[in-house]
Amino acid sequence: MRGSAPERPAPEAAAPAQRPPVERQLQLRFMLLALLLGLWGVFIALRLFQIQVLEHNAYEIRAARQSERTVNLAPRRGAILDRNGRQLAVSVDAESIHAEPQSIRDADGEATVLARALSLSASERHELAAQLRRDRAFVWVRRKVDPGQALAVRALELDGVGFLTENRRYYPKRELAAHVIGYAGTDNTGMWGIEYALDDVIRGRAAKVVVRTDARRRPVGHTEKPSTDGHTVVLTLDEAIQYAAERELEQAVRETRSVGGVVVVLAPRTGEILALANRPTFNPNVFGTYDPSQWRNRAVADSYEPGSIFKIITAAAALQEHVVTPDEVIDCGGGSIEVAGQRINDLSPHDKLRFRDVIAKSSDVGVIRVAQRLGRENLERYVRAFGFGAPTGVGLPGESGGLLRPLSKWSPLSLASISFGQEIGITALQMAAAVGAVANGGYLMKPLIVRQIEDGAGNVVRAFKPIAVRRVVEPETADVLTEILTGVVRYGTGQRAAVPGYVVAGKTGTAQKIDNTGRYSQDDHVASFVGFVPAKRPELVILVSLDTPRGPNNQGGEVAAPVFARVAQAALRRLAVPPDDAGHLIRVAGSAYEGALPAAYHPATDASAPVPQASSADAPATMPDLRGLSAREASAIAAHLGLVVALTGSGRVAAQNPAPGAAIEPGVTCTLALGRSAQIAAAPPRGEGT
């Protein structure tokens, strides 16, 4: 064919098109990115699970630490009361001032204004300014300020300054019983006395305030967790007797220019301490303004040589061991005796005296003669039995056990010296407790200062019962010694301890103090008197001790015995103890109540048993009508019936409980409300009931 083109071969099937390299790279990148995102998501999920679930608590704590500050506020301490429920220590609300430094722009300016309102010193102002500049969410400015200062700071309306309500310890009776009660610090922790000894009981559980801040550490509010109040402590002290003891001691220390002094008043049948007074003293509300030496409770912490009051112990041992009788004549050697090469002289020389007069006239020579019969072993045994050489266990901080060397370390002179109160160190409380054993018929009672502990509802959590430690002498010995000790007051060295209407048994003491040379001073001494009243039915043991009295007449019988008499009068009146000559008062009320008052009662023979109260087997079964009688007449009748008398008011009996005609039994408390004539006239006639 003309000009025909050659046939082209049939094309082969076309090969599949291949993607460009760029497109493939993009695809791989997207796949890798998706894989990474998937892995990242898994990681985030796992991490969130770890944070939110596994480590939730740890991060919560860390967040709280960064954004919260917990401030512990002291709990409200329980009250301390006397035996009749009168407040000796309480907790009252007080405002504390705090600051939030992140909210304060001018730290120096606010510190200056606050210092002026709070009466701060220059150094305190500088310290406060430094605190306000710190990068913290919370700082204290001043805690537990006076109401006036709190009001002044509130009026300033400063940025970043706030208030929290705390509580502080307040002692409404100021110095009264300060050494027994002690004091609490700014953080409400007990630091002395009962406040310290029973701090765990009194303190309670602290309140918590949680202060929160935002991310910029700005305060955003706070929450509070309330505190739990502490328990109430009821002491054995009687506020009125404590006041009388401190008043008389203060007067005596001032008049005699003594360095200090102590008065102890206790109930011999129970060992309860009714008063414990010290001078010098302090106000626990401002304890920091006093020298720390004034905080010391001399009655339990100070050990001193007792002098002649210790002759009571020697006499008790000699009578119990039957080495002497009360009327046996003792050779007093003209007031002088030589022992182990040492000459010992009496202040007032005597030739021969009956043993009762040896005690009444306080002859050292006569007591040494009797102690030589008794012997070292017996004297040491009785001295320890009466509680010397060991703490009484009263529970007050800083109590001393005194000083009594082992028998193996006694010198040839020790028997003679200890017999009249030298070469031995005792505390005032030890001596009062030992004389209490003579007063109650022979039992050494453990001194008690706490009566009971109560919860916030007034329920008794723990009660402290009388504890008889041991019998030290038999009742017959105690009775004989009591009769001898009454002679000290009737015609001996203790005549100024006499209390009108009552028979007093006791002993004077004038103990020389050791001077800087190690010898007994001719000028400095401790003047003492210890005794009990009424002698035949003792209700009170009272010890008075004056440290280094000055003046021409400064012996124990001249300066300490009168204090005993005044304290005893006030305490007997407070307790409505009938006088020893009250028999005629009972007859005034009618023949049904004639007769003497009950005699003294001795503790149970079981040393672990509580001391029983007086019984009155023949007492009437019904309450008589006492209205219109004087307090003394009514108290005598009630005491004769075995009742415990509580008086209120003044004047004659206007009302009574139990009512006339009510069934009674010994040991029941009889409350007598006293009033003037108008009140008595308004009462129903006697015998017609109330």
Domain match, 180 and 191 both: yes
- Using CA atoms, how far apart are residues 129 and 113, in angstroms rounded to an integer? 11
Checking if the pLDDT of 63 tops 80, the result is no
Fill in the DSSP letter of residue 85.
S
Domain match, 561 and 642 both: no
Instruction: Report angle CA 546, 171, 147 to the nearest 5 degrees.
Output: 140
Could you give the C-alpha distances from 7 to 4, 10, 627, 665, in angstroms and in order?
Answer: 9, 9, 159, 152
Which pLDDT does position 214 carry in this prediction?
Answer: 57
pLDDT: is 675 or 584 the higher one? 675
Closest CA relative to residue 500, chosen from 489, 484, 485: 489
Enclosing domain of residue 312:
239-575
Q: In what order do the strands lie in the sheet with 669-675?
A: 644-649, 669-675, 652-657
Classify residue 27: in a domain, yes or no.
Answer: no
Domain match, 528 and 656 both: no
A 10 A CB-CB count for 133 gives 14
Which pLDDT does position 64 carry in this prediction?
Answer: 58
What's the mean per-residue pLDDT of the chain? 83
List pLDDT tens digits, range 385-404.
Answer: 999 999 999 999 999 999 99
Checking if the pLDDT of 304 tops 60, the result is yes
Sort 616 into a burial class: Cβ within 10 Å, 0-12 / 13-18 / 19+.
middle
Checking if the pLDDT of 634 tops 90, the result is no
**pLDDT band, very low/low/confident/very high, at 152 (cuts 50, 70, 90):** confident
Classify residue 166: in a domain, yes or no.
Answer: yes
Closest CA relative to residue 617, chosen from 636, 601, 634, 605: 601
Classify residue 10: in a domain, yes or no.
Answer: no
668-674: average pLDDT: 85
Domain match, 289 and 369 both: yes
Q: Looking at residue 333, which CATH number applies to its domain? A: 3.40.710.10
Which residue among the candidates 258, 308, 362, 635 is catalytic per the annotation? Answer: 308
Count up the domains in the chain and report the number. Answer: 4
Checking if the pLDDT of 598 tops 50, the result is no
Which pLDDT does position 566 carry in this prediction?
Answer: 96
Checking if the pLDDT of 69 tops 70, the result is no
Question: Do 114 and 120 form a contact (C-beta atoms < 8 A)?
Answer: yes
Question: Do 504 and 535 form a contact (C-beta atoms < 8 A)?
Answer: yes
Domain match, 432 and 292 both: yes
- Using CA atoms, how far apart are residues 133 and 131, in angstroms rounded to an integer? 5
Instruction: Report angle CA 415, 419, 424 to the nearest 5 degrees.
Output: 85
**pLDDT band, very low/low/confident/very high, at 545 (cuts 50, 70, 90):** very high
Which pLDDT does position 417 carry in this prediction?
Answer: 95
Classify residue 256: in a domain, yes or no.
Answer: yes
682-690: average pLDDT: 38
Classify residue 18: in a domain, yes or no.
Answer: no
Single out the residue in 204, 235, 266 at which a domain terminates: 235
Checking if the pLDDT of 71 tops 70, the result is no
A 10 A CB-CB count for 24 gives 11
Domain match, 140 and 172 both: yes
Beta strands in 298-372 (DSSP E): 329-331, 336-339, 342-345, 352-354
Q: Looking at residue 151, which CATH number applies to its domain? A: 3.90.1310.10
- Using CA atoms, how far apart are residues 169 and 191, in angstroms rounded to an integer? 12
Q: What is the dihedral sign for C-alpha 529, 261, 470, 308?
A: negative
Sort 337 into a burial class: Cβ within 10 Å, 0-12 / 13-18 / 19+.
buried
Chain center to CA of 593: 42
232-244: average pLDDT: 96
Question: Do 269 and 440 form a contact (C-beta atoms < 8 A)?
Answer: yes
Report the share of the chain in percent with pLDDT over 90: 50
Domain match, 247 and 99 both: no
Enter the tokens of residue 33.
Answer: 């990115």
Which pLDDT does position 213 carry in this prediction?
Answer: 59
Which pLDDT does position 280 carry in this prediction?
Answer: 95
Domain match, 479 and 499 both: yes
**pLDDT band, very low/low/confident/very high, at 367 (cuts 50, 70, 90):** very high
Checking if the pLDDT of 222 tops 60, the result is no
Domain match, 550 and 600 both: no
614-642: average pLDDT: 69
Containing 220, the helix (H) or strand (E) segment is strand 219-225
List pLDDT tens digits, range 416-450.
Answer: 999 999 999 999 999 999 999 999 999 999 999 99
Single out the residue in 235, 253, 287 at which a domain terminates: 235
Which pLDDT does position 488 carry in this prediction?
Answer: 96
Enter the tokens of residue 120.
Answer: 């701060």
Q: What is the pTM of this model?
A: 0.71
Checking if the pLDDT of 589 tops 90, the result is no
Checking if the pLDDT of 55 tops 80, the result is no
Question: Do 611 and 445 form a contact (C-beta atoms < 8 A)?
Answer: yes
173 contacts: CB under 8 Å, gap ≥ 6: 87, 88, 239
Instruction: Report angle CA 684, 688, 690 to the nearest 5 degrees.
Output: 55
Classify residue 24: in a domain, yes or no.
Answer: no
Instruction: Please identify which residue in the block is written with the tokens 């002679």.
Output: 487
40-63: average pLDDT: 77
Single out the residue in 183, 209, 235 at which a domain terminates: 235
Classify residue 687: in a domain, yes or no.
Answer: no
Q: Which of 120-134, 494-508, 565-579 has the lowest mean pLDDT?
A: 120-134
Instruction: Please identify which residue in the block is written with the tokens 């049904």.
Output: 592
Q: Looking at residue 647, which CATH number applies to its domain? A: 3.30.10.20
Containing 355, the helix (H) or strand (E) segment is helix 355-360
Could you give the C-alpha distances from 523 to 143, 519, 658, in angstroms and in order?
Answer: 50, 12, 57
Q: Which of 139-153, 165-179, 583-597 has the lowest mean pLDDT?
A: 583-597
Sort 664 into a burial class: Cβ within 10 Å, 0-12 / 13-18 / 19+.
buried
pLDDT: is 138 or 369 the higher one? 369
Chain center to CA of 272: 13
Classify residue 435: in a domain, yes or no.
Answer: yes
List pLDDT tens digits, range 117-142.
Answer: 887 888 887 887 777 777 666 777 77
Which pLDDT does position 608 carry in this prediction?
Answer: 32
Domain match, 336 and 198 both: no
- Using CA atoms, how far apart are residues 177 and 242, in angstroms rounded to an integer? 7
Containing 260, the helix (H) or strand (E) segment is strand 260-266
Checking if the pLDDT of 56 tops 80, the result is no
- Using CA atoms, how far apart are residues 388 and 382, in angstroms rounded to an integer? 9
Chain center to CA of 259: 23
List pLDDT tens digits, range 252-282.
Answer: 999 999 999 999 999 999 999 999 999 999 9
Domain match, 493 and 639 both: no
Annotation says 308 is catalytic: yes
Which pLDDT does position 73 carry in this prediction?
Answer: 63
pLDDT: is 553 or 307 the higher one? 307
Enter the tokens of residue 524.
Answer: 């400095």
Domain match, 114 and 151 both: yes
List pLDDT tens digits, range 183-203.
Answer: 998 777 898 999 999 999 998
Checking if the pLDDT of 640 tops 80, the result is no
Which pLDDT does position 601 carry in this prediction?
Answer: 27
